[in-house]
Amino acid sequence: MRALCIDIGTGTQDILLFDAEREIENAFRLVLPSPTALVANRVRTATAAERPLILTGSTMGGGPSAWAIRDHVLAGLPVAATPSAARTLDDDLDAVRAMGVRVVMDDEATELAKLEGTLALRLRDIALDDLAVVLARYDIDLRTIDAFALAVFDHGSAPPGVSDRRFRFDRLADRLRAEPDAGPTAFAHREHDIPAAFTRLQAAVDDARGWLGATAQASVVAMDTGPAAVLGALEDPGPREALRRGREVVAVNVGNFHTLAMRLAPAPETRIGCRIASIYEHHTGEVGDAHLRRDLALVADGTIDGEAVFASMGHGALVVTPPSIGRGRPWVSVTGPRRARLIGSTVRGAGRVIPAVPHGDMMQAGPFGLLRALAERLPLWREPVARRLGTIG
């Protein structure tokens, strides 16, 4: 049994090939440029060459790619996009048109791509065809893989006039209410169970399934990146042992754009070994180091105020249950590309922040979390994954 886990971030895409017959230390892994970074570089090259752009493909992560496309328009250069590709810039296509991007149907996009000098870019977060070429050089055939676990960050498709920050956080809260005993795996979905609001997650699954083929036997699971990283942080021996001893854990993923923290209470009676007691999400660039530490102290003691977080340009926060008396200070674990902002610092009332090194690899927290979530969503995988990763809590 083999599973490919792909965690799509802003800076990198982190990839893990799990083989039930191999020790986890010998699992093959890759760290490659993120799709949004690749698109941004290609758009900037087109801008410098003053080439028109035609965008096709799927809804994918914005950030660097979206900024580069907007700069292309501001440079006075034409951009056309199919509806699905255009939603990378904004779910509201009228807003995309207002940016100066022409929204066209597939047939017209095909004709525009033929014009001399035009750069046609296919947008997508998941490119299994490209990855298959790379791995084939190392005698790995992607079509023989049994399961795929994919992670992307999805704000959700907010209705016009609704804050995408609030909309996303409300969807996170919905998942907690739906599966209170699932811990961070509440944010993982089998391919046919993805909530309608999560259009980017659905697009990632559709791209993977499109390459695999509708009749392929491989299973596909999709998850949000932040919870995947938090779940992966629990693969580190420190927080794992803390949960086993009845101690709460505050696990933080400091991403390039978003910071997600969860206070996790021990729950040995659940399959994942913990429940989410508090959850917090903010924009990494909107909070200074002292502000972030103050917020984490409030997460740890169960007093974080969601409206205050939203007012400071964050997504929000939710306290599900207060800390249990007598459990002592929580273990504070950090992962993510901006983890250096917290490593070695002290969170009031919680103690020193310790970097998470799941199975010896800081860069693989997301893929390890995906693998754990895959085992939760697909019972056939529980024994082989537990045999190689152990159990949490």
* Tens of pLDDT, residues 363-377: 999 999 999 999 999
pLDDT band at 220 (very low <50, low <70, confident <90, very high): very high
Angle at which helix 64-74 crosses helix 35-48, to 10 degrees, equals 20
Q: Please say if the pLDDT value at position 379 is more than 90.
A: yes
Same structural domain, 86 and 218: no
The reported pLDDT for the residue numbered 392 is 85
Average pLDDT over residues 256-280: 96
d(CA 316, CA 307): 6
Same structural domain, 45 and 154: no
| Contact call for residues 68 and 53 (beta carbons, < 8 A) | no
Q: Please say if the pLDDT value at position 182 is more than 70.
A: yes
Same structural domain, 9 and 60: no
User: Which domain-ending residue is among 93, 123, 153?
Assistant: 123
What range does the domain containing 87 cover?
35-123
Cα distances (angstroms) measured from residue 278 to each of 49, 154, 231, 300 = 49, 20, 14, 8
Same structural domain, 263 and 288: yes
The reported pLDDT for the residue numbered 215 is 82
Same structural domain, 340 and 294: yes
d(CA 232, CA 226): 10
User: Which domain-ending residue is among 72, 95, 123?
Assistant: 123
**DSSP-assigned letter for residue 7:** E
The reported pLDDT for the residue numbered 263 is 97
What's the chain's average pLDDT? 95
Q: Give the chain's domain count.
A: 3
Tracing tokens 């096709």 back to the chain, one arrives at 56
pLDDT band at 324 (very low <50, low <70, confident <90, very high): confident
Show the tokens assigned to 336: 């993510």
Tracing tokens 């660039």 back to the chain, one arrives at 285
| Contact call for residues 252 and 317 (beta carbons, < 8 A) | no
| Contact call for residues 371 and 269 (beta carbons, < 8 A) | no
Q: Please say if the pLDDT value at position 253 is more than 80.
A: yes
Same structural domain, 300 and 241: yes
Same structural domain, 95 and 191: no
CATH number at residue 97: 3.40.50
Judged by DSSP in three states, 159 sits in coil
Same structural domain, 137 and 19: yes
pTM for the whole thing? 0.96
Q: Please say if the pLDDT value at position 327 is more than 80.
A: no
d(CA 335, CA 316): 20
Distance in angstroms between the alpha carbons of the first and the last residue of the chain: 25
d(CA 138, CA 150): 22
The reported pLDDT for the residue numbered 308 is 97
Same structural domain, 269 and 321: yes
Q: Please say if the pLDDT value at position 328 is more than 90.
A: no
% of the chain residues with pLDDT over 70: 99
User: Count of CB atoms within 10 A of residue 277's CB?
Assistant: 25
For 145-159, what is each residue's pLDDT tens digit? 999 999 999 999 999
Average pLDDT over residues 339-363: 95
Same structural domain, 182 and 168: yes
For 91-127, what is each residue's pLDDT tens digit? 999 999 999 999 999 999 999 999 999 999 999 999 9
Same structural domain, 158 and 191: yes
For 23-37, what is each residue's pLDDT tens digit? 999 999 999 999 999
User: Which domain-ending residue is among 123, 138, 159?
Assistant: 123
Show the tokens assigned to 271: 């399959």
Same structural domain, 374 and 360: no
Q: Please say if the pLDDT value at position 326 is more than 70.
A: no
